[in-house]
Every structure is written in C-alpha cells, then in structure tokens.
C-alpha cells in the first residue's frame, strides 16, 4: 500500500538555491518596488553578527566531542533578534545567516518588534541520548550567553529542538544570570513561562491565510477542497482547523506518502506526526498517492507543509490548485514561483502564512516580561487579529501595485525596516 515519495528525488533541471542566495534575491526583488535608500538595502544583505562557538560535550562513555554552534543575528533595527535554534548535522554559518534574514522579513511583515536571528549546532540530535542533549544545550547556552537575552536575542525551537530544549536553555542562562529569566527563549513548556497555543500557532496562521485567500478569491470555504503535504505540527493543525471551518480536506501525507478521499477525510482520525509518527498511511482511505501526486491534485487549495523546495520548475506546470499556501518554509523555488505567477496561481508566502509561530512567540515573550499568563482564548484571538492586520497590509500592496502576494509581503516588510533605519539613522 505504501507509495514512493517523490519530493526527495533529485531534480536534475534545477539545483535549489541556498537560503542565503534566496533571501538576498528576495531582498533585491522587494527593493525594486520600494522607494528605499540603496545603502539600506546593502546593509540588509549582511548580518550584524555571526557568533561561532565550540561546544564540548562529555559523551556517556566518558569521551569528549566538540561540536560547532552558531548564532546569526541579521538585523535589530526594530527590536531584539528572534529566531530558532536547530540541531542538525548540516547547520552552517551561511545557512543560519540566510534563515536569520527570513526571520527579519517575517517579524517585520507581522509588525512584531523584533529582528531576525537563527542558530544551531551541527550535530545529529538522534545520535544523542537525553542527558547528552541536555548537557550540550546547557553548554551552548553558556557559550551564547553574552549575545542572547530578553532584550538582545530571543531564540526558539526549530528542527531537532523542542520545548524541553528551550527549558534547559532558559535554566542554564538563568542560573548564570542569578535570576529566573523566562524571556530569554520562547517555545518553552507553559509551566516554565511558555505560552498556550504556541505549538498550534504556525498551523493556525496557515489555516487563517488559506481561509482569507479563499475568501479573497470570492469563494466559499464550505465548497473548497484542500490537500496538505506533511501531517506534522504545521500541516495537521492547519488541516484540522480548515476541516473545522467547513473546508473539505481530501488528501494529507507524511514522508511515506498520501491518503486521498474525494469526499473528504476525517482529519481528527488521521494520526499526526506527534500522535503516531509517520502513520498517515495506516488510516483507511479509498486511495493512496505519492508525495509528488498530492501536490498536483485537482483541488482548490494545496498546502505544502513538510519540507522546502517541493514545488520546482519540474512540477510547477502540473500544480492544479488555484491557491498555494506555504505552510513549510521555502517550499516553492524561485523558478517555480515565476511559472506559478505566469499561470495565475495565487501563492501565499511562508513569511506570512506560517508566521503564527513567531507571533505567539512574541506573545510568550510579552507574558514572560510582564509575568502574566494569557488564556488560550486570548492567545488565539490576538493571533487572529495580528494575522488579519498583516493580511490587510499585504493585500493593500497586492492591489496598489499589482504585485504577487510574495512580493507584496516582502515590500511591506522592507518598507517597515527601511523606514525604521531611516528614522534611527546610521551610527556614528
Ligand atoms: P513536523 O516534524 O512536525 O512534521 C513534518 C511532517 O512532514 C511529517 O508528517 C513528516 O512525515 C512529513 N515529511 C517529512 N519529510 C517529508 C517529505 N520529504 N515529503 C513529505 N512529507 C514529509 O514538522 P513541522 O514543525 O510541521 O514543520 C514543517 C515545515 O514547517 C518545515 O518547513 C518547518 O520549517 C516549517 N515551520 C515550522 C514551524 C513550527 O513552529 N513548527 C514554524 C514555521 C515553519
């Protein structure tokens, strides 16, 4: 019954760009539409700082291994740096810089008082047992102590790290500072200053973006079909919310392949990545598809919510949906974007669609520094409000200058950053 996923197949026609190349290219594209000082654009091509540290770890057998960690801080004109820490063997300084630039745009388009940061350790987290992950995290926190802090740089979970990692990071930082400092990281468990609704937030904002896009195209959500690639934190939460709001989710997938029911799936009955990893195909459905086929289904909305670079020049022509909502980061390559634009497919970009994560991280930081917990209802209401404000700002650019949603989102972000830089001036 299992089918072969195709999204990982090597794409011989198009080598995906590095995140830094993509981030710089997006900046230049946006700059062409904004009345911005070229010096500001030049400054934004470079990070403020990239901290590289060595992280020695005593393994369980008593040997010591030294890992390399990074923290890229792109721009803080609008506030402290904000962005994830990932544990992955392929973490590099360059990748962190590119991802930190994306975070700058994401925070600005959501109008959050943060700039972009990203970091991590080049390590395979699966090769570590829990005690080793804890020791690695505590030492990494200590090595970064001078450059992070609630008013300087506020990390969050990312690939290979989770709420427990953030709790250890916060504890290590707090012990050295001599005071409990929950606002140094976000994405913590609620018992130590985490926010309700944080885990669900990127999926929720993705669902809100899909709902608004459908409405903008003058359609009824109750008559909308949806396919979601990736049934993890982002994909499953987005699918279930859209299902709750009346859409018909006809297909979902995990790394092993997709299930398809033209009459609609019961998304609550399909196990998510967290509930039972990689078990989507265990759910009974009339048809199974590959991960390539799910993207090409004849549905109204397709939501790539698994990994990057899945819509490429090789399959952009075959995307049958009218609306693509980017739940994952960077699912559409630059070349594919041009094809989709030409074909009139609406693409709601990642920096807007999945920005619920960083937005609720901002709410978490507010709760931490104010020592006041918000209810889940309040978090979701404020997220809805913040998303709609961002949506309206981007929509205004789409309409005013006849831009794609991606270009419009970058224009909103760049305009805000450029205005802040202009107002503050260049020191000294
Ligand atoms: P996750 O690990 O919870 O789930 C990922 C899902 O994708 C799983 O169902 C997995 O089986 C599936 N998958 C993995 N590789 C696949 C492949 N090659 N083809 C098809 N399916 C595959 O991950 P997540 O947190 O939901 O993140 C998904 C994407 O969203 C990533 O691009 C991530 O960077 C982005 N994102 C996540 C957050 C967040 O806070 N969770 C925030 C913003 C963006």
Mutation to probe ligand 1, out of 233, 271, 288, 356 (largest number of atoms < 8 A from CB): 233
Residue 148 is part of which domain span? 48-184
407 class by beta-carbon count within 10 Å (0-12 exposed, 13-18 middle, 19+ buried): buried
Instruction: Say if 11 falls within a structural domain.
Output: no
Whether 329 contacts 307, CB under 8 Å: no
Whole-number Å distance, alpha carbon 246 to ligand 1 midpoint, is 24
Residues 141 and 279 in one domain: no
Q: Is 144:119 a contact under the CB 8 Å cutoff?
A: yes
Strand partners, 325: 348
Same domain, 171 and 209: no
The verdict on whether 118 is a catalytic residue reads yes
Average pLDDT over residues 249-275: 97
**Quick one: tokens of 105?**
């745009």
Is residue 129 a part of any domain in this protein?
yes
Closest ligand 1 atom, residue 327 Cα:
30
Pocket of ligand 1 (CB under 6 A): 5, 7-8, 202, 229-235, 253-255, 273, 278, 291, 305-308, 327-329, 354, 357
Longest CA pairwise span in the chain (Å): 66
Q: Which pLDDT score is estimated for 18?
A: 85
Q: Which of 82, 106, 118, 188 is catalytic?
A: 118
Query: pLDDT tens-digit profile of 107-149?
Result: 999 999 999 999 999 999 999 999 999 999 999 999 999 999 9
**Final residue in a domain of this structure, among 326, 353, 380:** 353
pLDDT of residue 13: 55
Distance from Cα 234 to the centre of ligand 1, integer Å = 7
| CA pair distance 229, 256, nearest whole angstrom | 11
215 with 329, same domain: the answer is: yes
Residue 188, pLDDT above cutoff 70? yes
Between the CA of 200 and the centroid of ligand 1 the distance, in Å, is: 13
Question: Whats the size of the chain, residue-wise?
Answer: 428
Atom 15 (ligand 1) nearest CA? 255
312 and 224 fall within a common domain: yes
CA-closest candidate to residue 158, choices 22, 361, 419: 361
Supply the pLDDT for residue 17.
Answer: 76
Distance from the alpha carbon of residue 245 to the mean position of ligand 1, in angstroms: 22
Q: Are strands 115-121 and 81-87 parallel, antiparallel or unpaired?
A: parallel
- pTM reported for the whole predicted model: 0.95
- The CATH code of the domain that includes 261 is 3.40.50.720
Q: Whose CA is nearest to atom 17 of ligand 1?
A: 255
| The predicted structure's pLDDT at residue 12 | 44
Residues 129, 237 within the same domain:
no
* 423 within a domain of the structure (yes/no): no
Q: What domain count does the chain have?
A: 2
CA 54 to chain centroid, in Å, comes to: 27
Residue 272: pLDDT band (50, 70, 90) is very high
Give the residue from 152, 184, 216 where a domain finishes. 184
C-alpha 85 to ligand 1 mean position (Å)? 16
């Amino acid at each position: 019954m299992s089918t072969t996923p195709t999204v990982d197949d090597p794409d011989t026609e198009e080598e995906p760009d590095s995140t830094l190349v993509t981030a710089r290219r997006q900046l230049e594209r946006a700059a062409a539409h904004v009345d911005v000082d070229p010096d500001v654009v030049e400054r934004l091509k470079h990070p403020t700082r990239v901290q590289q540290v060595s992280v020695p770890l005593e393994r369980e057998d008593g040997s010591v291994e030294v890992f390399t960690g990074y923290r890229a801080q792109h721009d803080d004109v609008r506030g402290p740096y904000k962005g994830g820490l990932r544990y992955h063997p392929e973490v590099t300084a360059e990748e962190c810089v590119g991802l930190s630039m994306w975070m700058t745009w994401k925070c600005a388009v959501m109008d959050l008082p943060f700039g972009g940061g990203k970091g991590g350790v080049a390590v395979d987290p699966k090769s570590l047992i829990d005690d080793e992950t804890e020791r690695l995290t505590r030492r990494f926190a200590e090595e970064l102590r001078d450059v992070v802090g609630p008013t300087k740089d506020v990390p969050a979970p990312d690939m290979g790290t989770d709420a427990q990692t953030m709790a250890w990071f916060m504890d290590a930082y707090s012990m050295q500072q001599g005071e409990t400092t929950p606002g140094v990281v976000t994405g913590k468990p609620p018992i130590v200053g985490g926010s309700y609704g944080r885990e669900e937030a990127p999926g929720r904002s993705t669902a809100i973006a899909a709902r608004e896009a459908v409405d903008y195209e003058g359609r009824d959500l109750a008559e909308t079909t949806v396919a979601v690639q990736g049934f993890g934190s982002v994909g499953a939460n987005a699918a279930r919310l859209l299902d709750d709001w009346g859409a018909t989710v006809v297909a979902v997938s995990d790394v092993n392949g997709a299930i398809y029911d033209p009459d609609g799936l019961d998304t609550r009955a399909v196990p998510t990545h967290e509930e039972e990893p990689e078990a989507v195909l265990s759910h009974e459905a009339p048809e199974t598809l590959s991960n390539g086929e799910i993207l090409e289904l004849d549905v109204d909305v397709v939501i790539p919510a698994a990994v990057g670079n899945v819509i490429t020049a090789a399959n952009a022509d075959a995307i049958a949906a009218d609306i693509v909502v980017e739940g994952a980061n960077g699912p559409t390559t630059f070349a594919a974007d041009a094809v989709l634009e030409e074909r009139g497919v609406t693409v709601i970009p990642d920096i807007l669609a999945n920005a619920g994560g960083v937005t609720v991280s901002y709410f978490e930081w507010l709760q931490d520094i104010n020592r006041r917990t918000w209810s889940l209802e309040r978090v979701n209401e404020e997220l809805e409000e913040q998303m709609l404000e961002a949506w309206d700002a981007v929509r205004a650019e789409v309409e005013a200058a006849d831009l794609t949603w991606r270009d419009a989102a970058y224009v909103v972000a760049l305009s805000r950053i450029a205005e802040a830089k202009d107002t503050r001036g260049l020191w000294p």
